[in-house]
Structure 1
C-alpha cells in the first residue's frame, strides 16, 4: 500500500466516508466534515468596530486589535480521516472551487500540507482538519458528510545540500512548525 486514507480509529463506528474523487480525471479527493460544525462569520462586532474606527480615523487600542483578531481566526473543521503515503510525498489540502463562490469559505493559508509523518502521530492519530474562514455575512453550519475541501497527493524533492532535519515529529496538528 503506497498511499490512501483510513478512518481514525475512535470514529470507526460513526459512518464516515473515505475521501473519493468526483470524476475519472479529478486530481483531488473530496473530504467531508466529521460532524456538524458552525463556522462563524468574520463580520462580528469587534471586527466591525475596528473597521469603523479606522474609517473614521480613530486609533484602535491594543485591546481592540486583540478582540478583533479573535473574530478573524480560522476554525479547524474535523474530518475523522487520516492519510498514509510514501516518505517523499505529502497531501496538499486545497479549497473546493465552489467554497468561495457559493459558501464564502476560504483556507486562510491557501493550501494545507499534511506530511507523511503526520500519519498515526501520538497526539491525534493523524486526523486531518481543514482550516476555514467564513467571510460571509452569516454563520454557516457545515453538516456531517458535507464536502469541505480536497486533498491531492504530491511528491516533493530535496535540495542537493539538504542535511536533513534533526528532530522527529512528536505531536499532531502544527507540531513540526512554530508552536
Structure 2
C-alpha cells in the first residue's frame, strides 16, 4: 500500500498547471490531474469543485481583503483602507514563493477564453465583496463602489506587474504604487 503524502491540494494544483501547459486546458481531465498528482478522482473533488477552480482558488483572496477592510483603523479613508488591504493581500497571497506559479497560471488563463471569462467573473465578485465590506464600515454606497473599483484596478495592475517581474520587490509595494497611480489618473 502506498504511503500517504501530505499537501494534496498543492500537488493537485501543480499537476494541473503542468498538464494545462503541456496539453492545454481543454485536453486535460480531472482524472489526468489526479493521476499526475498520484491521487484519486475523489480526492480531487474534495479539494476542488472542477478543474477551473484549480486556477481560481477557494475565495481566500476575497476573505483576506474583506478581513483587512474590516480590521482597518476607523479613521482611515476608503482609499487608505484599500491600500492597506492590498498590502496585506501581498503578504498572504502573492509571496515570492508563489511568483513563478502565478506567472504560469496567468499564461494558461490568457490562452483560454473560458478561463478569461471565469477570471472576469471572479474579479466582479471580489469587487462586490470589497464594496460590501466598505459599506459595512459606514462608507456611502457611491464612495464604497468607487474605492472598490479603484482598488480592484490597482490590484489587477499590481498583479500583472508583480507576476511579470523576477525581482524581489514585494507585491504590497507594487500594489500601493499602482493605487497611487490610479488615484493620480483620476485627478487629471
Is this a same-fold pair by TM over 0.5? no
Point out the structure with the larger helix share. 2
Higher strand share: 1
With normalisation by structure 2, the TM-score equals 0.30
TM-score by length of structure 1 reads 0.31
**Larger relative contact order, structure 1 or 2 (CA cutoff 8 Å, min sep 6):** 1
